[in-house]
Amino acid sequence: MNKQDLIHRIESYYKKMSKGQKLIAEYIMNNYDKAAFMTAARLGEVVGVSESTVVRFAGVLDYDGYPKLQKALQELIRNKLTTVQRIELSSELDQAVVLKSVLKADMQNIRQTIDETDNEVFNDVVNKFLQARHIYVLGLRSASPLAQFMGYYLNFVFDNVRIVTSGVSDIFEQLFHIGRGDLLIGISFPRYASRTIEAMRFSRERGAHTVALTDSMLSPLTDYADCTLLARSDMASFVDSLVAPLSLINALIVAIGQIKKAEISSRFHQLEDIWAEYQVYVEKYKG
């Protein structure tokens, strides 16, 4: 069974679940390690629903009984662990196959991202970038390089881009002027940065459009997002897998660039002259 199968099922059926079943789903997604070893009765007790509701929850997800759901849970927690637990788990890898294992995991993340990306939502996000008065790209901790990369290329397309990340000034100081007509794209993956969630909420309350780039519809960022783009980041190690998120960011930039092709071409013609004059790039390698 695919280790991420349970996540996919919960996301697919979440809107159709009863109130009690949604409570179970939310508890599972936020407490993998605890739920994975609970009986149906104990899980129901902790969540505040009956044991029969837990059993029916397993059926809603198309598992043949609660034991099958529990097994899927135990597989799931291998991919949703603390940093210390990830280090312990990665020690199980045979050093001889680390390279192939990591590359294959990244490939699988990209495949799942392709399958889960909604083209309509993707196009909607592209339009939000094109229509925004100001664009704020937010990424903290391990997501900071993604925000820097996205902001770097968006600055070739727009004059209104601001990268928001940890620095001298607080996040809210950097977002002080955000308001109606503006766009914030918040980037975060497990373990989610609490400051990113707070910034998403702050921006939405100020009237800005918000986009979440995260790993799951049950990510806390989605509570404050007008649109959500999903990219898988599973990696059984202390290192976050950012290959799929980076690829999705590439797709966004290319899609925006296709629409603003004439303007970008004009800018790069000017930049080429500047780069040549100040020898920004090595023109010819002398070996």
Instruction: Round to whole Å and give the CA distance between 243 and 194.
Output: 22
What pLDDT is recorded for position 272? 92
Burial (CB < 10 A; 0-12, 13-18, 19+), residue 92, is exposed
CB 61 within 8 A of CB 13: yes
Fold of the CATH domain 112-258: Rossmann fold (3.40.50)
What pLDDT is recorded for position 1? 39
Cis geometry, peptide bond prior to residue 86 (ω within 30 degrees of 0): no
Rg (CA), the chain: 22
CATH of range 5-80; options 1.10.10.10, 3.50.50.60, 3.30.1330.40, 3.40.50.280:
1.10.10.10
What pLDDT is recorded for position 217? 79
Q: How confident is the chain (287 residues) per 10-residue block, as mean pLDDT?
A: 65 90 90 80 94 94 89 65 54 67 86 91 97 97 95 95 85 95 95 92 97 88 95 72 95 96 91 92 73
Instruction: Round to whole Å and give the CA distance between 104 and 51.
Output: 39
What pLDDT is recorded for position 2? 41
- Tell me the domain boundaries of the chain: 5-80, 112-258
